[in-house]
Amino acid sequence: MALKELNISPVGRVEGDLDVKVYMENGVVTRAHTQAAMFRGFEKILAGKDPQAGLIVTPRACGICGGSHLYCASSALDVAWKTTLPPNALLMRSIGQAAETSQSIPRWFYAIFATDMANKKFANKPLYQEVVKRFAAYVGTSFQKGVTASGRPVEVYALFGGQWPHSSYMIPGGVMCAPTLKDITRAHAIMNQFRNDWLEPIWLGCSIERYMQIKSWDDMMAWLEENESHRNSDLGLFLRAGLEFGLDKFGQGVGKFLAWGTYLHKDMYNKPTIEGRNPATISPSGFWDGKKYYDADQKLVSEDVKHAWYENQTDGLHPFDEPIPTTSTDIKNLHNVNVGDKYSWAKSPRFMGHAAETGPLARVIMAANPANKEHQFRDPLFGDIMEKLGPSVFTRVLSRMHEAPRLYMMMNEWLSQVRLDDEFYIKPTERDGIGWGATEAARGALAHWIKIKNGVIENYQIVAPTTFNVGPNDKDGNPGPIESALEGTEIEDPHDPVEVGMVARSFDSCLVCTVHAHDNKTGKQLAKFKL
């Protein structure tokens, strides 16, 4: 069999730059290596700086998930400084986090993912014409509506944070703003517009309430066939075309999932601690190994660097124990790199020693955990879908989109819980200490670890969702989730390896913050075939 090596640089339309080297036999990927090809060194910049520097710097680690970084950075300082958080502050932070994620859902679907469904690869499929009409870049009818509507939720973020992206409104002790009645009522109205401009008429073709009744894959299929409005909505088209195009047939991944969860309950996290965090989440945390649920204890995270361009650390360290990175000098582009050695700027984070996929699919799997508490999401749908269909590009996309209606409902609920006469901020006392903050960025589990000593940052470590997903092989040679998900993928045209793009994009890879401080960008060019 002919072994071909295909170097794809850049993949593009993932945030930041991702390069992929794949080995194929008969057009099927047998092994893949991902390269994060840019380094920015934010951890080095933060060391020795003001303890609150992370509030300004880390949102700029990633312009796509800046609000999520802020959520982590402020939470980590809350723990370190032993703050008291008023309920209003927790609500304001949840609203910001949910607004950012709601923005990302249509923006990612139309601008990043669905344009690939209009690729000529699928031209012989019956639904192709309809897909092109709606999803083609810029000119697609839904592309325009979806991308424009994606700006709405972050207007709510701007009401409370001043702007999106790159606000620093969440601070230890609460939030900066003290919104007024007119801000709250306007926020309700903006979210309604999001629902009316896109979510219900374009995406669902039904009311949010009707959609929320879907509890199993059979329900989903019954919903699809219920009427023309469902079939012809963008969700209906995605379900039909996704299955017709075979998107459920590739991109499986490692089958293990991690979520830190998020949206700390307004009355359950007023005294922030590391231990108290997971039980206080509304979107639940957890680790699922394909059979069983485990607690997502941050102590069980470690990072390997055997294949990453860092020199001064050993494999398997917990983020609190990791040194400020020292970079390698022998950096090679994708083309020339030796994958047996170091080949990426991304480290390889592991949970309980396992590579774990993070992201919306992980979140909806945790939402299906029967042990979830009353205040947490309890939604069996993706427990069932994982059983019936398993993970794939299709399942991953569906899980992402599934969050939009629920977040809409949650944002309205949180807005209605804000008490305008109560506190939004309680000034904390600054002190040395350690802290951990975590959340669910749109694309998955994000966490910050901070150590403060002598009134400045001693160490700051970020483990971003795409670091989990896109990281290189670990010390034992086990692939990361995207590397694993690429295996078995058929590539029809090596000059246009859209399948690789679809797998990477189904993870909503964000190299920008993946590389915790290191971003990746790489570049290699196309195809060199070793026959």
Partner 1 sequence: MTNLIWLKGGACSGNTMSFLNAEQPTVIELVTDFGIRILYHPSIGLEIGEQVKEVLNDALSGRVSVDVFVFEGTVIQGADGTGNMNYFADRPMKDWVNDMARVANYVVAIGDCATWGGIVAVPPNPTESTGVQFHKRDKGGYLGKDFVTKSGLPVINIPGCPAHPDWMTQILVAIATGRMHEVLLDDFHRPKTFFTDFVQTGCPNVSSFNNKIEGAFGKRGGCLFYEVGCRGPMTHASCNRILWNRTSSKTRANHPCLGCTEPGFPHHDLEKGSIFKTMKYLGFLPKETPEGESKLSFYFKRGYNKLLSNPGENDLSSK
Partner 2 sequence: MANVLWLQGGACSGNTMSFLNAEEPTVIELIVDFGINILWHPTIGLEIGKQVSDLMNDCISGKTQLDIFVFEGTVVEGPNGTGDMNLFAERPMKDWVKELSEAAQYVVAIGDCATWGGIPAVPPNPSESTGMQFHKKNKGGYLGGGFVSKGGLPVINIPGCPAHPDWITQILVAISTGRIGDVLIDDYHRPKTFFTDFVQTGCPNVRSFAEKIDGHFGKRGGCLFYEVGCRGPMTHASCNRILWNRQSSKTRVNHPCLGCTEPGFPHHDLKKGSVFKTLKYLGFLPQDVPTGESKLGYYFKAGIGKLMPSDKSIKATSK
The footprint of partner 2 (CB under 8 A) covers: 180-182, 184-186, 188-190, 192-193, 195-196, 416, 420
Taking alpha carbons only, the member of 264, 289, 459 closest to residue 366 is 289
Answer whether 70's CB lies under 8 Å from 55's CB: yes
Binding residue for partner 1 (CB under 8 A) from 71, 95, 173, 252? 173
Q: Of the ranges 173-181, 223-231, 293-301, 480-488, which one interacts with partner 1 (CB under 8 A)?
A: 173-181
Binding residue for partner 1 (CB under 8 A) from 238, 425, 436, 468? 425
Q: Is the torsion defined by CA of 212, 102, 445, 433 positive or negative?
A: negative
What is the three-class DSSP state of 255? coil
The contact pattern for partner 1, residues 506-525, with x = CB under 8 A and - = no contact, is ----x-xx-----x-xxxxx
In angstroms, give the least distance from the CB of 12 to partner 2.
34
Enumerate residues 429-458 that contact partner 1 by CB under 8 A.
455-456
Binding residue for partner 1 (CB under 8 A) from 26, 129, 144, 207? 144
| 374 lines the binding site for partner 1 (CB under 8 A) | no
Q: From the list partner 2, partner 1, none, pick the one residue 185 interacts with, judged by a Cβ distance below 5 to 8 Å according to partner type.
A: partner 2
# binding residues, partner 1 (CB under 8 A): 108
What is the three-class DSSP state of 285? coil
| 24 lines the binding site for partner 1 (CB under 8 A) | no
Closer of 129 and 185 to partner 2 (Cβ):
185
Return the CA Rg of the chain. Answer: 22
DSSP 110: I
146 contacts: CB under 8 Å, gap ≥ 6: 106, 107, 109, 110, 198, 202, 203, 234
In angstroms, give the least distance from the CB of 63 to partner 1.
2
Q: From the list partner 1, partner 2, none, pick the one residue 196 interacts with, judged by a Cβ distance below 5 to 8 Å according to partner type.
A: partner 2
Q: Is the torsion defined by CA of 508, 514, 520, 526 positive or negative?
A: negative
Q: From the list partner 1, partner 2, none, pick the one residue 193 interacts with, judged by a Cβ distance below 5 to 8 Å according to partner type.
A: partner 2
Q: Is the torsion defined by CA of 235, 239, 244, 246 positive or negative?
A: positive
Q: From the list partner 1, partner 2, none, pick the one residue 524 interacts with, judged by a Cβ distance below 5 to 8 Å according to partner type.
A: partner 1
Cis preceding linkage at 497, omega within 30: no
Q: What is the C-alpha separation between 262 and 240, in angstroms, rounded?
A: 32
Binding residue for partner 1 (CB under 8 A) from 31, 66, 142, 245? 66
Closer of 234 and 379 to partner 1 (Cβ):
234
Answer whether 365's CB lies under 8 Å from 288's CB: yes
Closer of 284 and 359 to partner 1 (Cβ):
359
Q: Report residue 7 as tokens.
A: 């170097």
Closer of 333 and 417 to partner 2 (Cβ):
417
Closer of 10 and 255 to partner 1 (Cβ):
10
Binding residue for partner 1 (CB under 8 A) from 29, 32, 64, 80? 64
Number of residues written out for the chain: 531
Q: From the list partner 1, partner 2, none, pick the one residue 300 interacts with, judged by a Cβ distance below 5 to 8 Å according to partner type.
A: none
* Helix spans in 84-207 (H): 87-106, 128-135, 141-149, 153-161, 181-194
| 339 lines the binding site for partner 1 (CB under 8 A) | no
Answer whether 495's CB lies under 8 Å from 31's CB: no
In angstroms, give the least distance from the CB of 184 to partner 2.
7
What is the three-class DSSP state of 55? helix
Q: Which residues in 276-368 belong to E strands, given as ranges?
A: 281-283, 286-288, 293-294, 301-304, 348-351
Enumerate residues 72-101 that contact partner 1 by CB under 8 A.
89
Closer of 116 and 200 to partner 2 (Cβ):
200
DSSP 510: B
